[in-house]
Structure 1
Amino acid sequence: MTAHVDVMELVSRMRSAEEAFVLATVVRTVAATAAKAGAKAVIRADGTIAAGWIGGGCARGAVLNAARDALIDGQSRLVSVQPENLLAELGVQPGESRDGVRFAKNACPSKGTMDIFIEPMLPRPSLVILGASPVAIALSELARRFGFHVTAAAPAADFAEAPDADAVFDGFDIPAGTTTDHFIVVSTQSKGDEKALRAALGANAAYRGFVGSRKKIVSLKTKLAAEGMDPAALDAVKAPAGLDLGAITPDEIALSILAEIIELRRHGKRDTSARPSS
């Protein structure tokens, strides 16, 4: 633990770096406790306390367990560390949750009570858009408004103007994704379809969508399968990408694709291959 590091300064740096962590804040104390209301700590994804102070061993285990769970489900929670006799009066067991509060036992001699708010700070979901088509441009603009970290990748000459994206790559060589919230959409529309699809299949992603006709994607999948590409990976590409909204214009198609990605994120689904094509 590095208590000398300014907690809020570290929070700002870690958020800018798109690093997952938890901000734990003591919101209430009763009787003697090591930390007082307002104390904060930054907890990394590996369970280490990077900065701050939330008390000693009396609360540490419960806070770290709650932090781990918060990073998994993305939900904030309140942890109440209380002596065993007070838990008994409430009729709850250590580890039990009630009305949004998780209870833990304080076995330290101080017998104090601490309530700690656990707030996960997760990286923005990552959307990589391969191509510079009108749909790609519209999707980039829309996704950023919904809080996505957008990477636009296409040959520089294909962009009529600079795309509205957090990062722009010349060509289809894209950085590998390392999170479950990593989505890729191929919207090249006849300008490098095969190369872009190969790049999408070679990157880690929770979702891969292809903007184009059924005839085109069938032809591409057949060709890549004949060259030894994994059939399961090819089948998992959602094509045409997007929910069936009857979309026609680039903006409407972009909306249908983003809606499909948001549905996937919120419902925790990872296999779109069995869903009907739009």
Structure 2
Amino acid sequence: MNAHVDVLDLVSRLKAAEEPFALATVVRTVSVTAAKAGAKAIIWPDGRIEAGWIGGGCARGATLKAAREALADGQSRLISIQPEDLLAELGVKPGDDRDGVKFAKNMCPSQGTMDIFVEPVLPRPALLVLGASPVALALAEQAKPLGFHVTLAAPLGDLLAAPEVDRLIDGFAFDVPQTVHRFVVISTQGKGDEAALKAALAFEADYRGFVGSRRKMASLREKLLGEGIAGTVVDSVKAPAGLDLGAITPEEIALSILAEITLARRHGQRAQGTESLTRNGN
């Protein structure tokens, strides 16, 4: 831990590098506390403090626990660390959650109160588009404003112009993005379908979609099964990709696919939030 690093400068650098971390900020203190309002700390997913200061052991345990939980479910938290008698006056116990505030007990002799806001800062979700088809290019173009880190993988000779993406890869051999959420769309449309599908099935993803008919996917499925790829893995591919919007043009098809990905992405976040509430006894 380095308390002398400029925390806000480091926040900017970590965000640019797509590194996951939590930012804890002391928003209120009452009576004697080691840290004062405005103090900040950067916390890694494993609970280590990288930089900054939020006080000693009185606040650290509850804050680090909140940071780990926030990075797991993507939800911010407000922690109120108070002496036991003040918690009793409020009618709450350590660990209780009331109106969005999580309460913890201050075990230190100072018996001060600290309210700490813990915000998860996560990398952008990764969208991998495999192929150089008109749908693939429309997907890449539409996804960036929605906050995706977009990778386009395709033989560069198939591209008439370089698209505006975060990463452009020649062919279908690539390193898997190290991020919490990954979405993959195969839009080769006859040019390297099987190779692209193999690449898309080689790693975990929140969503896999294939731009093509069910009949075409069924034919490719048989080939992939014949090469030893498990049926459960092959069947994780949604074909045809996208919600049924009656889409016709490449732009409309791309829109339908992004709508389906957004549905999968947000549903997953809501499910994580519900699990967190259940664990907290709400």
SS at match of 1:268: helix
Counterpart CA distance in 2 for 1:137 and 1:87 is 56
List gaps (5 residues or longer) in structure 1.
270-278
Q: Indicate if the aligned counterparts of 1:3 and 1:52 stay in contact, CA closer than 8 A.
A: yes
Q: CA deviation at 1:178?
A: 3.7
**1:172–1:196 contact (8 Å) kept in structure 2:** yes
Give the whole-Å Cα distance in 2 for the aligned partners of 1:177 and 1:161: 24
Stretches of structure 2 that go unaligned for 5 or more consecutive residues are 270-282
Percent identity (aligned): 68
Per-residue deviation, 1:177: 3.8
Q: 1:132, 1:188 within 8 Å by CA — same for their partners in 2?
A: yes
Task: State whether structure 2 residue 41 is matched by structure 1 residue 2.
Answer: no
Write out per-residue CA displacement over residues 190-220 of structure 1, whole angstroms, 9 at most, x where no aligned residue. 1111111111111331211100111111110
Name the SS of the counterpart of 2:221 in structure 1: helix
Q: d(CA) in 1 for partners of 2:197 and 2:6?
A: 45
Segments ≥4 residues shifted beyond 4 Å: none
Letter of the 1:176 counterpart: V
Letter in 1 for 2:186: V
Q: Does 1:166 align with 2:166?
A: yes
Counterpart in the other structure of 1:272:
none
Give yes or no for contact 2:21–2:45 (8 Å, CA) kept in 1: yes
Q: Which letter does structure 2 place at the counterpart of 1:165? A: V
**Is the counterpart of residue 227 in structure 1 residue 243 in structure 2?**
no
Pairs within 5 Å for 1:1-278: 1-268=1-268
How far off its partner does 1:180 sit? 3.8
Work out the CA distance in 2 between the residues paired with 1:253 and 1:25: 43
| Cα distance between partner residues in 2 of 1:178 and 1:121 | 15
- 1: CA distance, partners of 2:148 / 2:46: 24
CA offsets 1:95-144 (integer angstroms, 9 cap, x no match): 10100000000011101000000010001000000001110011001110
The alignment partner of 2:237 has SS state of coil
How far the C-alpha of 1:10 sits from its partner, in A, is 1.1
Give aligned pairs, total: 269
1:179: how far off?
Answer: 3.6
CA RMSD, aligned part only?
1.0
Offset from partner CA, 1:66-88 (integer Å, 9 cap, x none):
11110111111100000000000
How much does 1:163 deviate?
Answer: 1.2
Distance 1:218 1:191 in 2: 17
- Distance in structure 2 (CA, Å) of the matches to 1:110 and 1:235: 59
Report SS of the residue matched to 1:24. Answer: strand
Query: SS of the residue aligned with 1:169?
Result: strand
Q: Indicate conservation of the 8 Å contact 1:185/1:209, yes or no.
A: yes
Any conservation in 2 of the 1:129–1:152 contact (CA below 8 Å)? yes
